[in-house]
Structure 1
Amino acid sequence: MRIAIITKLNGGVGTFVSQLVKELSLHEDIESIDIFAYSDDKLKVPFQIPDGKVKIVTNGNRWSFLPRLLLHIPSLRKYDVIHHISSHVAFFLVYYTTGRVWRIPIVSTNHAHPGFKISEGGILGLLGRIEDLFLKFVIFKSKKLVVMTETVAKRFIEMYGVKPIVVYHGVDREHFKFDRSKREKIREKLKLNPDTMAILFVGKLWPHKDVLTLIEAVPKILRKCDNLKVIIIGDGPMYNDMIRKIEKLGIGKHVIVKKFAEDVTAYYSGADIFVMPSVKEEFGLVYVEAMACGLPVIATNGHVVPEIVGDAGLLFEPGNSNDLADKIIGLVNDRELYEELKKKSLERAKQFSWKKAAEQYCKIYKEALGGK
């Protein structure tokens, strides 16, 4: 099969594409994979192209992406399947050419949580309703629709009467694993004592990641556990607000902030607990990466998070810094529970495999071709 992938290469989507393509390229049923993409320079995921089968045809910024894609529309007729991963506008272009004229099946992977903004007022609500209209078009015009969790699939059934196929993301367990040498080096670099409890946050600092709830929990935790450091790895729109909050609360000596980590696995190995206060996730690769490194996870009890974390972590009410502080204090003071969650994290991570995801997508491509 000759596959064209239309996507962005930013953040978690970029990681998804790179890992999926790496595994797909190993399948004998896949003849070639061409990628038509865009990415923001600051967010671009380093993309390692497997030998032979894969090439990136376009990879400009988001503003030049559609004109570039338009120029390549005639060449899309040579593919057996189009895999659409992002940009609903790009889907319009592709559907009304390859889909309707040349009858090439389109498989769509949806990374959005439908209806999340619709209930909000103001500009967010308006944007949510516009996005929902685009999403409906993608849903009903795709030959196959894929989402990452059963939670999101149920949402599609409730809102649109459509049942998508669920394919979990994976984790590279050869890369994301506990490394004692890395732990010792990173803790020495960060000047952490052997008995200091290190709490780690990794993620783009979007508002919905809600890093401020973690910062607000720190003074409450310090009243019971003073030998503690919070490590924040990330940059984004909430960065300055976060720094101001840290200064206002006077907790600067207990918080380490890094906009970027050359090797994030060193921080996973060096930490003791992973915390993600996000109020909305479509999947959340960082949860699985942390679990693969043996970290107990503390996360919110909403959206898809309970499905991903399972019994390998503790859940708290979104936006509730008191609840988060209580969960962290409880875990720090309960060594038996801590060790139990470490073991459960490693077991839980084994359920997420890029190889398995690639096998499922190969099957989906074949089914889409069968109904061409």
Structure 2
Amino acid sequence: MEKVDPDILHVHHLDFRFPPTYLERNRLYEDVPIVTAVHGFHSIKFTDGDLQKNMKSLISSNLCVAENLILNSTSVEKELEKFFSESLDKFNFYTGINAIDTNKFYQTSTDSNNTDNLLYVSRLEERKGVYTLIRALGKNKQQLSEFHCTLVGEIEDRARVETLIDRFGLNNTVSLEGRVPNLRNYYNSADLLVVPSVHEDFGLVYLEAMACGTPVIGTTGVPKEVIPSNDVGYRAEPKNPQDLYEKIKNSLDKNWEYSKIIDHAQSYSWSNKINEYKQIYSRLSKGRPIDIAQAK
């Protein structure tokens, strides 16, 4: 840090990365503002016992001197209010600045066929809803027309996934791809992205799919701004296979206005979000707050 002369310091996360940045700033650049990007509170939300207690204490201490925050989504904002309501008057914050690369994710022409192609893109683990998806398909496979579901992502417990697929007789209709290098081709080949996560701080995969013109299904655990209406997708109840199946069936039967889906994703393009960053940095460099009402 001694080799640069920054106007602003931008640090990611409020846990272990924050204290060194804060201390070095005070040592070298006392008047330079710090802005901290908050991607979520998984270290509290999905832990317990002493670990949860220690992480909450660390983040609480950091919040007292954090000054300026950029929050991932309204979901993260609600968690901030839930876990640290006593600290809300100690900093300024701006909500919602995630973006996708629309030069990488865009609609291409694909060959159509009579099979309904479902796509799941995420880690194959309980929290991401992959078992809920398999159960939804398995319990209702007779009610669905010809379909195929492709599961893309790292597999936490391959044996468990394969056992559940086998139990429901889905070996010929559900395939495991693991990690793949080019998601755009998968998004464009899919009729529907289905990722029924219990919780998402944001959910980039939904917007990546939408940028390719593919409607999506998440859950009510996905921030509303990501799936704001049934024009772009549906939000099912978490851990509810029957509700998920009904959302899948409705989606496959629906005549989508694909331009609306793409337009929503485009609003999260980096070209748009970079302008928001510029406004935030400009305000900070002039000693002005970045709260959501004033930053725009």
The TM tier, using the shorter chain, reads 0.7 to 0.9
Contact 1:225 1:329 in 2 (8 A): yes
Deviation at 1:322, TM superposition (A): 1.0
- TM-aligned CA distance change 1:99 to 1:210, over 3 Å: farther
Deviation at 1:286, TM superposition (A): 0.4
Q: Residue 96 of structure 2 aligns with which residue? A: 167
Stretches of structure 2 lacking an aligned partner (at least 5 in a row): 289-296
Distance 2:273 2:255 in 1: 30
Distance 1:234 1:250 in 2: 22
Aligned counterpart for 1:313 among listed residues 233, 237, 245: 233
Distance 1:238 1:168 in 2: 33
Distance 2:43 2:93 in 1: 16
Q: Deviations over 1:211-240 (max 9, x none)?
A: 111111111231111411001110142444
Counterpart of 1:269, as a letter, is N
Contact 2:7 2:33 in 1 (8 A): yes
Distance 2:266 2:29 in 1: 41
Q: Residue 5 of structure 2 aligns with which residue? A: 78
Structure holding more helix per residue: 1
Q: Residue 116 of structure 2 aligns with which residue? A: 197
Within-5 A mapping of 1:112-123: 112-113=40-41, 117=45
Q: Deviations over 1:250-308 (max 9, x none)?
A: 2111111111222111011111011111111111110101111111111101251x221
- TM-aligned CA distance change 1:101 to 1:262, over 3 Å: closer
User: Is the aligned partner of 1:338 residue 2:266?
Assistant: no
Counterpart of 1:96, as a letter, is L
Return 198-207 or 290-299, whichever deviates more. 198-207
Q: Residue 33 of structure 2 aligns with which residue? A: 105
Q: Secondary structure at the match of 1:256?
A: strand
User: Is the aligned partner of 1:176 residue 2:105?
Assistant: yes
Q: Residue 142 of structure 1 aligns with which residue? A: 66
Distance 1:238 1:368 in 2: 46
Distance 2:240 2:33 in 1: 45
Counterpart of 2:117, as a letter, is A
Q: Deviations over 1:8-56 (max 9, x none)?
A: xxxxxxxxxxxxxxxxxxxxxxxxxxxxxxxxxxxxxxxxxxxxxxxxx
Contact 2:39 2:76 in 1 (8 A): no
Deviation at 1:367, TM superposition (A): 2.7
Distance 1:87 1:141 in 2: 11
- TM-aligned CA distance change 1:78 to 1:168, over 3 Å: closer
Q: Secondary structure at the match of 1:338?
A: coil
Identical positions, percent: 27
TM-score normalized by structure 2? 0.85
- TM-aligned CA distance change 1:294 to 1:196, over 3 Å: same
Q: Residue 153 of structure 1 aligns with which residue? A: 77
CA RMSD of aligned residues (A): 2.4
Distance 1:307 1:116 in 2: 23
Q: Deviations over 1:305-361 (max 9, x none)?
A: x221111111211000111112112322x3xx3324x34312211221212222222
Counterpart of 1:291, as a letter, is M
Counterpart of 2:33, as a letter, is P
Contact 2:14 2:62 in 1 (8 A): no
Counterpart of 1:91, as a letter, is F
Q: Residue 40 of structure 1 aligns with which residue? A: none
Return 290-299 or 165-174, whichever deviates more. 165-174
Counterpart of 1:132, as a letter, is K
Distance 2:8 2:126 in 1: 36
Distance 1:238 1:136 in 2: 34
Distance 1:274 1:220 in 2: 19
Contact 1:147 1:164 in 2 (8 A): yes
Contact 1:114 1:132 in 2 (8 A): no
Within-5 A mapping of 1:242-281: 242-281=161-200
Q: Secondary structure at the match of 2:256?
A: helix
User: Is the aligned partner of 1:294 residue 2:213?
Assistant: yes
Deviation at 1:365, TM superposition (A): 2.3
Contact 2:130 2:196 in 1 (8 A): yes
Distance 2:175 2:51 in 1: 35
Stretches of structure 1 lacking an aligned partner (at least 5 in a row): 1-73, 185-192
Distance 1:208 1:262 in 2: 23
